[in-house]
Amino acid sequence: MLETTERKKQKTQLNNRLVMSASEVLRDYRLAVESRQTSLIGRREVLSGKAKFGIFGDGKEVAQIAMARAFRRGDYRTGYYRDQTFLFAIGATTIQQFFAQLYAHADIVAEPNSGGRQMNSHFATRLLNDDGTWRDQTQLYNSAADLSPTASQMPRLVGLGYASRLYRELDSLKHLTQFSRNGDEVAFGTIGNASTAEGHFWEAVNAIGVLRVPVVLSIWDDEYGISVPNVYQLTKGNLSEILAGFQRRSETTGGYEIFTVKGWDYVALVETYARAAELARTEHVPSIIHVIEMTQPQGHSTSGSHERYKSPERLAWEQEYDCLRKMREWIIDQHIAPPGELDNLERNAEKLVENFRVKAWQAFARPIYDERQDVAALMKEVEEAGERGSRGAGEQEAIAERPAWVAEVAAVRQRLLAKEAPLRRDVLMAVREVLVATRGAGAVAGEPIGRLLAWKNAQEATNEERYGSHLVSNSAESALHVTEVKPVYAPDARLVPGAQVLNAAFEAMLARDPRVVAFGEDVGFLGGVNQTYAGLQKKYGELRVSDTGIREATIVGQAIGLALRGLRPIAEIQYLDYLLYGLQILSDDLASLHWRTRGGQKAPVIISTRGHRLEGIWHAGSPMAALINLLRGMHICVPRDMTQAAGFYNTLLLGDGPGLVVEVLNGYRLKEQMPSNIGEITVPLGVPEVLRPGDDITLVTYGASCRVGLDAAEALAGVGVDVEVIDVQTLLPFDRHGRILESLKKTGRIVFLDEDMPGGTTAYMMQQVIEAQGGYDWLDSPPRTIAARPHRPAYGTDGAYFSKPNVEGVFAVLYDIMNETNPGRFPAFL
């Protein structure tokens, strides 16, 4: 195929850039050596007890420097926890910050990746300003926050790359210049060879190929997964051979460019990364770079030694083909620098890294030492107060009458001061020991004990912020600040199926905000299995309303990547039961993202799904207890109808945090009035709604169970029981202002109802009201829960009836409570 003049020009420019000066080569080697020293010294710090655990990037240095040379401002990395050399090379983290993370320094200035919340080598650049607003990503070297579960970095690679395609091809996004320069950004993914056995890897590789997005995916292949060699990980033990089917056959067909290159071949690595990045950047063709013959000089981590499972021959080979050794040999062979100069460079690198380590340790330890000294001084004051109190009978009797706790406090103080490397835990444990020892001593040492207690309370508040802040966004754009806008109905408002209400809402969202994109299985051409997107692909195009393959994990990942790059994805998982396919990514990545970066990153993803009240084992489940426990950090909205669902989508789009909306399956066909302000309705989060006021008993529920509860309440009204039915509306957050408690204060009796398993979400709601809100003090009867049977719903109408809560069952439980309260007025049924 003849090349165009423009393509020839690009190749010429690329070849010119590949010509490296001696100073550039030596700079790269120096950086590689510094990174290696960081790994060696880091391991020493763990084994000496100063750090808890260590995992390092030794053996991967040269390949990562080559990747860094191809990485530009605006590009994104989603990677593997051995990428330290790459992060050093692009300047996204420093050696001192690396050690700060190794020590778990809970200070965002010292450790900007996570503020000490993630173990070492888990990197993240800060995409947000202190107020939670976006920084200009085109001016940054960007890295999505790492996570430990193997291959979990792959699903979001789909979205990080796909965003460039949307920014290039959608004119409506051209104004978002802080996120893209016409889609020229490349998403770089990195993964270890053993992790490619995970399903996330293959699902992501397939989705990237289907979407044809600018991705450069690197596989660091050192032939082991901890102790397990490739022969047990991969068919034929050869990734390049397995991946060959993804190779594109011409410049017009889909697929990947696939490169295999040795991890110690500096020149070949630089050339390979430059060509792969240029192809992705200019033509949006993805590449896979399989980097083979890599080594891991210190083994997998500080948890063990690779000498236990590698043969002497393998260990000898790793020494010979260590990438630093081979690069050094090449530098000498090419007469770039003599051995003596390299020796000096290596000695200086070791001194430099050790200097950074010392600075990081001092910065970490000094505040804790200061806190220890403050506490020791307060303890000394307590001791002295006890001494003074014992001297009232005279000097001779002082020792005999000294309170026993004085010696106990002195012993605690001395033990605390003797610790060479104290932690905050040690300080607070010592405080607790002193407070226990001095209980009842207030008459003698009340004032210093009070100061010690005040110090403890202040520290606990500080540490709550230090380790627990940013679970959800509390910025000015947080969805928690969105106020209610109620539906408005015209006098002649039409009664339409709920699906049409939601369809109108989605159309309004797409019309008002060009950042909104919706995708999922059958969402595009068909308009959704329930027609909530009917006609919207035709109106807004295939890039904004899209079909996907059956790939829930990467549907979630696609949404995360897009949201990280400033877009507002609505990702549909067809049924609530199928959310389980993507639950690991939702939990380990999306829900924890804002927290684990201590407010440095956010991904305002909306996950849309549907469940409840259908028949069958895998279309009518209710794993809500699993969701509310695994998705802390997300908002979970459980609308009872489609108007309320539309309000939740609008609320979440006005916010800057992730959310899940669970639509009710049988709500699509039920008729609702069409609001005239469907695009403006908002429902506040964490604010329950009283659906039916009552004075006798409070029934707390949500979603599809609201209809069951209301029908049961009407039936109970016929026998004189006045039930107050409350829709919690959201499970996360839950009743932020204590409205359910106010109802309980009035009725004195409460029941929690839903379709989850016994001990599931009903137990969660009970804990929130009875324990967290203090509802226990207002109970006149024991609280009760009504849940589904402890099995999946059976098929058929009767199967569902005998599997899930029904009106008769709710009636029986509430009436039984009233019978216990007043058997004369509410006699038992015979």
SS3 668: coil
Pairing status of strand 659-664 against strand 730-732? unpaired
Q: Which residues share a beta bridge with 609?
A: 662
Cβ 79 vs Cβ 146: under 8 Å: yes
**DSSP-derived pairing of the beta strands 224-225 and 228-229:** antiparallel
Indicate the length of the chain as a whole number. 830
Instruction: Identify how many contiguous H helices and E strands the chain contains and give both numbers.
Output: 29, 22
Please give the Cα distance from 82 to 56 (Å, whole number).
5
CA distances from 704 to 344, 642, 648, 666, 769 (A): 72, 11, 16, 8, 21
Contact 470, 595 (CB under 8 A): yes
Query: Alpha carbon of 515 to those of 258, 518, 811: distances in Å?
Result: 33, 10, 47
Residues in a beta bridge with 394: none
Amino acid at residue number 273: Y
How distant, in Å, are the alpha carbons of 162, 190, 580, 601, 605 from that of 561? 8, 15, 20, 12, 9
Query: Which of 571, 479, 594, 449 has its CA nearest to residue 114?
Result: 594
- Side-chain half-sphere CA neighbours of 372 within 13 A: 21
Q: What's the DSSP call for residue 4?
A: P
- Residues 661 and 652 sit within 8 Å (Cβ to Cβ): yes
Q: Indicate the helix (H) or strand (E) that contains 757.
A: none
In DSSP notation, 411-455 reads HHHHHHHH-SS--HHHHHHHHHHHHHHTTT-HHHHHHHHHHHHHH
Among left, alpha and beta (phi > 0; psi -120 to 50; other), residue 531 is left
Pairwise CA distance, residues 263 & 82, whole Å: 14
Report in angstroms the alpha-carbon separations of 743 from 691, 763, 782, 799: 12, 18, 16, 34
End-to-end, the C-alpha distance of the chain in Å comes to 89
Residue 153's CB is within 10 A of a number of other CB atoms, namely 29
Residue 387: alpha-carbon gap to chain centroid: 53
Q: What is the 3-state secondary structure (H, E, C) of 309-365?
A: CCCHHHHHHHHHCCHHHHHHHHHHHCCCCCHHHHHHHHHHHHHHHHHHHHHHHHHHH
Nearest to 710 by CA among 732, 696, 726, 688: 726
Q: Which helix (H) or strand (E) holds 497?
A: strand 495-497
Q: Do residues 165 and 213 touch, judged by C-beta distance below 8 A?
A: yes
- The single residue listed with the structure tokens 């995916």 is 217
- Three-state secondary structure along 613-648? CCCCCCCCCCCHHHHHHHCECEEEECCCCHHHHHHH
Q: Which residues are catalytic?
A: 619
The two beta strands, 730-732 and 635-637, are antiparallel
